[in-house]
Amino acid sequence: MLINQLAKECQIPIGTIRFYEKSGLITGSRKADVTTNNYIYYDEESIDKIRFIQMAKAVGFTLAEIKEVIDAWYLRSISKAAQLDVLDKKLVQIDEKIAELKAMKQQIAICKQNIIERD
């Protein structure tokens, strides 16, 4: 699929896709049998990656942190142990974020009570 369709599929601007590709987060490829242009084609993997990026960004991970995970995910050049290490560390961070969100819920619930109870 070409960049335009990938953008529609993921509901994300084309410029952002180009930016992610330049940042090494996703990778499209030229088709050997197409010689008249140098259009870049993307596959399902790119969709998966972009969806993951969106999710991770929404919970406060930076693109640098996200790239670490994506590399552990897809780069077979990295050793098994190193891959698992990155993923385990990310799981810890995720649990920390869940804990923080739960703490925020608590705080906001108490704040709501204060507002309701005051005259």
Contact residues for a copy of itself (CB under 8 A)?
A: 52, 55-61, 69, 72-73, 80, 83-84, 87-88, 90-91, 94-98, 100-105, 107-109, 111-112, 115-116
**Smaller CB separation from a copy of itself, 43 or 96:** 96
Nearest Cα to Cα of residue 66 among 51, 76, 81: 51
Nearest Cα to Cα of residue 57 among 25, 105, 15: 25
Residues that bind DNA (CB under 7 A): 2-5, 13-16, 18-20, 28, 34, 36-40, 53, 57, 62-64
**Smaller CB separation from a copy of itself, 5 or 106:** 106
**Smaller CB separation from DNA, 27 or 83:** 27
Q: Shortest gap between Cβ of 90 and DNA (angstroms)? A: 15
If one counts every other C-beta atom within 10 angstroms of the C-beta of residue 9, the result is 15
Nearest Cα to Cα of residue 41 among 52, 32, 51, 54: 32
If one counts every other C-beta atom within 10 angstroms of the C-beta of residue 18, the result is 15
